[in-house]
Structure 1
Amino acid sequence: MNNRHFLWIPILVGAFAVLWIVPLVGLLLTSLRPPGDITQGWWRLDNFSLTLDAWRSVWTKYPLASAFWTSFKLTALSTLGTMLLTPAAAYAFQFLSFPGRRLILIVIVNAFVLPQQVVIIPLFTLWRDIGLIDSLWSCVIPFVGMSFAWSVFLVKNFLEDFPKELIEAAKVDGCTPLGTFWYVVLPNALTPIAAVGILQFLWCWNSMLLPMLYLRSELPLTVLLARVAGSFEPNLDQQSVAAIITMAVPLAIFITFQRYFTAGASSRTGGKE
């Protein structure tokens, strides 16, 4: 078939790439241009000038370093907890038999339809009563718990194609269910676990609602970003700086580990990855 029939594919992909890149370029230029130039449009080239005043102002007025560290701790704990608990739960639902297995799985999966806003008030009351307000655990626990709805479903779907012969061979060799999980299933399920970790990292890093409600002294970057906006002026240049700093880490994580999103289709043979 003539390759000219497929010329529309790179054109379409290029158009989507431009649509994705233009806002990033605008965000960067907004952070580097004086406020007077921004009001006329960041894309205008007449009287074009660049300045680092917004970057200096944000860095001196707001505790970016401590907010970055808070975001990292919050996201790392939530991601690590999900990556440790999700494969164990998926293995139990797929390969072990216990009373109420299907019912529990249905309840977990149906949590997809539960909006995050529904649990805000009950959680706030619970955390206040047990003294967890202004603690990172007040956000880590719901982050991990609410991620089970999709993470267990994702890993369990991967394990449905896992070779049953390997499980039976482990039983014949005398492996306990825990040993089978640790030595057979876990080493061969790194692809979905890594995908879960990336998605959980992106979600927790960009989350603002729960940290804004439950944290007081330690604020992550997303909450700090909301406070950069002025009461009587938009501060678009400073907001752009805060947005760039906030999205730099998840963007780097996604670009570095994006291959895990496409590796699942070719790694379901049971061979060690």
Structure 2
Amino acid sequence: MSAPAASDPTKPSPPPRPEMGIRRGLASRIVGRTGGGLAAVLLALIALFWLMPTFGLLVSSLRDPQEMSKSGWWKVLGKPSDLTFSNYDKLLDNKDMTRAFFNTIWITVPSTLLVILIGSLAAYAFAWLEFPGRDWLFLVVVGLLVVPVQVALIPISKLYGDTGLFGTITGVVLFHVAFGLPFAVFLLRNYFAGIPRDLLEAARMDGGTDLTIFFRVILPLGLPAIASLGIFQFLWVWNDMLIALIYADTESAPLTVALQSQSRAFGANIDVLAPGAFLSLIVPVLVFFGFQRYFVQGVMAGAVK
């Protein structure tokens, strides 16, 4: 049998067969070609369209009420001198709206802080403490995530009527805390469970108690997830109208309920509605952008190890 002929190094190698290369689909080719400046321009245009209603509401809140009924808000772009802050002066002089704004703060801030505190303590217990029935109890907490708010409206109304909490800010806060805790425990427990055990064992060897470990180790390392939870809870409570409409009276109603009641006479008080709606919108936006860095870290925390 003859030996196989040696290949000639000077001879060019044949081109690779099509099946040997990586076949790219139509979608991947489109993404590859538009992944540069064109994609950035497209995203910028989408962001501008997304911010257009907010900008329109801002301009409307600075216009004269009579002009609002005659033309669209974009007409003022040619005459910026027509913008005025008189609508905000009327808003501040309206006692119902100012009281509703402060009621919103008294409802939102305690609801957010209590959910963060109680939820983080419970999440630490579910993640790192051993006690009988821990896993089953955590499954119950996870199951509470699917319970709709509407299921508890009538029973809680009867309970609030018996305890004197109906129509108070305290009753609204307690309702938001109760329905915010399952999500808080679920989110924070999964994040706390990913903290290295060596850090906790080192803290215990140094004589740290569970509270010391929680405040000195868990909370600083869990700040991204806690910030994400705080943003979710703040936005949910600040923008809520259903719970406040049922459990809050006139003196304890938040800004959403006040705007809803003012909208019944839309043509007569547009000068109060426009700045009030913008004020109700801009506060959550500022909170989100203020904690955006921690929010992104919390959302992406489980993506890479």
TM-score bracket for this pair, using the shorter chain length: 0.7 to 0.9
Deviation at 1:22, TM superposition (A): 0.9
What pairs up with 1:90-169 in 2 under 5 angstroms? 90-169=123-202
Matching residue of 2:8 = none
Matching residue of 1:245 = 279
Q: Which has the higher contact order (CA 8 A, sep 6+)?
A: 1
C-alpha spacing 1:46/1:187, structure 2 compared with 1 (3 Å): closer
Aligned length: 268
Choose which of 19, 22, 25 in structure 1 pairs with 2:52. Answer: 22
What pairs up with 1:3-82 in 2 under 5 angstroms? 5-31=35-61, 32-35=63-66, 37-38=68-69, 40-44=71-75, 49-50=82-83, 54-82=87-115
Q: What's the TM-score once normalised by structure 2's chain length? A: 0.77
Letter in 2 for 1:193: I
Paired with 1:158 and 1:233, the residues of 2 have a C-alpha distance of 50
Deviation at 1:247, TM superposition (A): 1.8
Deviation at 1:46, TM superposition (A): 10
What secondary structure, in the 3-state scheme, does the structure 2 residue paired with 1:180 have? Answer: helix
C-alpha spacing 1:3/1:215, structure 2 compared with 1 (3 Å): same
Paired with 1:77 and 1:107, the residues of 2 have a C-alpha distance of 25
Paired with 2:77 and 2:123, the residues of 1 have a C-alpha distance of 59
Deviation at 1:184, TM superposition (A): 2.4
Letter in 2 for 1:240: A
Deviation at 1:248, TM superposition (A): 2.4
C-alpha spacing 1:138/1:196, structure 2 compared with 1 (3 Å): same
Range with greater deviation from structure 2 (205-214 or 56-65): 56-65
Question: Of the two, which has the highest radius of gyration?
Answer: 2
**Structure 2 alignment gaps of length 5 or more:** 1-31
- RMSD of aligned residue pairs (Cα, Å): 2.8
Q: Percent of pairs identical after alignment?
A: 35
Paired with 1:143 and 1:29, the residues of 2 have a C-alpha distance of 33
Deviation at 1:78, TM superposition (A): 0.7
Cα pair 1:162 1:268 within 8 Å, conserved: no
C-alpha spacing 1:230/1:57, structure 2 compared with 1 (3 Å): farther
C-alpha spacing 1:37/1:208, structure 2 compared with 1 (3 Å): closer
Deviation at 1:132, TM superposition (A): 0.6
Paired with 1:37 and 1:177, the residues of 2 have a C-alpha distance of 60
What secondary structure, in the 3-state scheme, does the structure 2 residue paired with 1:207 have? Answer: coil
Paired with 1:139 and 1:46, the residues of 2 have a C-alpha distance of 42
Q: What's the TM-score once normalised by structure 1's chain length? A: 0.86
**Structure 1 alignment gaps of length 5 or more:** none
Letter in 2 for 1:15: L
Paired with 1:268 and 1:182, the residues of 2 have a C-alpha distance of 25
Matching residue of 1:257 = 291
